[in-house]
Structure 1
């Protein structure tokens, strides 16, 4: 199973999180309907347990995993908060690894 992490931060664009989540969830649904196992584990990760999107919706997130968590793909969504996220030393260090 491939592990996909979507990095969240305050004022993130909601569609940039929900769109990829839905695509991978649908891919898993189609595989399971065909009698195959799910291919993707998708997790929304962040430095905070809750992140408010630019649309005002609050997302519950998983703590930033430690290196060696088995990550296959990292998705970094866009949004109004990207500049502040790039100035967050903890977040930047985590992305760098």
Structure 2
């Protein structure tokens, strides 16, 4: 019988385990953020597996960057909407400010 190559998800799980000591050394408040990074990587495991890169950390980092870019663009869109809303509010004729 032939050998089965590990899937990228298997490789990612092994990679995450190698970072266990680092995770444990993080402050508790940072651990959920660290976990979220690997969640981002898992969300793109199919694409990463197709890449079949020699260094599995490279597609992991690109996956994390991709998710962070999506978050940045979502937040920028919200900021743009809020700024447009604030700019469209007429000035208070009394000169008072709620700020």
Give the number of the structure whose residues are more often helix, by fraction: 2
User: What band does the TM-score fall into relative to the shorter chain?
Assistant: under 0.3
The normalised TM-score by structure 2 is 0.25
Bigger CA radius of gyration: 2
The normalised TM-score by structure 1 is 0.25
Q: Which structure ranks higher in relative contact order (CA pairs < 8 Å, sequence separation ≥ 6)?
A: 1
